[in-house]
Chains A and B, each alone.
Chain A
Amino acid sequence: MTFINYAAREINCKIVYYGPGLGGKTTNIQVIYDKTGNGAKGKLISLATESERTLFFDFLPIELGTIRGFRTRFHLYTVPGQVFYDASRKLILKGVDGVVFVADSQEPRIDANVESIRNLRENLRDQGYALEKVPYVLQLNKRDLPSAMPVADLVTALRQKDEPVFEAVAPKGIGVFETLKAVVKNVLVDLKNR
Chain B
Amino acid sequence: MAVSDLVLLEADHTRFSGVLDRLRRDANAKVVFLIDKNGQQLASSGDLSGLDPTSLASLTAGNVAATDGLAKLLGEREFSILFHEGEHDNLHINIVAGKAILVVLFDEHSSLGLVRLRVKKATGELAVIVDEIVSRSQSARAGAGSHLAPFAEITDEDIDALFN
Contacts and interface: CB of A to CB of B under 8 A. Distances in A.
A59 B40 CA distance: 13
A59 B59 CA distance: 9
A51 to B, nearest CB: 21
A4 B137 CA distance: 11
B3 A95 contact: yes
Contacts of B159: 67, 184-185, 188-189
B78 interface: no
Interface in A1-55: 1-8, 11-12, 14, 42-43, 45, 47
Given A42-B55, A91-B69, A95-B37, A3 B62 contact: no
Interface in B1-25: 1-10, 12-14
A146 interface: no
Contacts of B6: 1-4
8 contacts: A3-B38, A43-B55, A59-B58, A61-B54, A92-B62, A94-B38, A95-B38, A129-B2
Contact of A67 (B12, B13, B158): B158
Contacts of B36: 3, 95
Interface of A: 1-8, 11-12, 14, 42-43, 45, 47, 56-57, 59, 61, 64-65, 67-70, 72, 75, 87-88, 91-92, 94-95, 127-130, 133-134, 181, 184-185, 188-192, 194
B142 interface: no
Interface in B61-83: 62, 65-66, 68-69
A4 B5 contact: yes
A91 B158 CA distance: 32
Contact of B150 (A1, A56, A68): A68
A68 B154 contact: yes
Interface in B116-157: 145, 147-148, 150-154
Nearest to B8: A5
A152 to B, nearest CB: 28
A95 B38 CA distance: 6
A70 B5 CA distance: 16
B47 interface: no
B158 A45 contact: no
Contacts of B38: 1, 3, 14, 94-95
Contacts of B87: none
Contact of A3 (B5, B65, B145, B153): B5
A65 B2 contact: no
A56 B64 CA distance: 13
Given A3-B6, A7-B13, A191 B55 contact: no
Contacts of B2: 128-130
Contact of B8 (A1, A6, A45, A88): A6
Given A45-B55, A129-B2, A12 B40 contact: yes
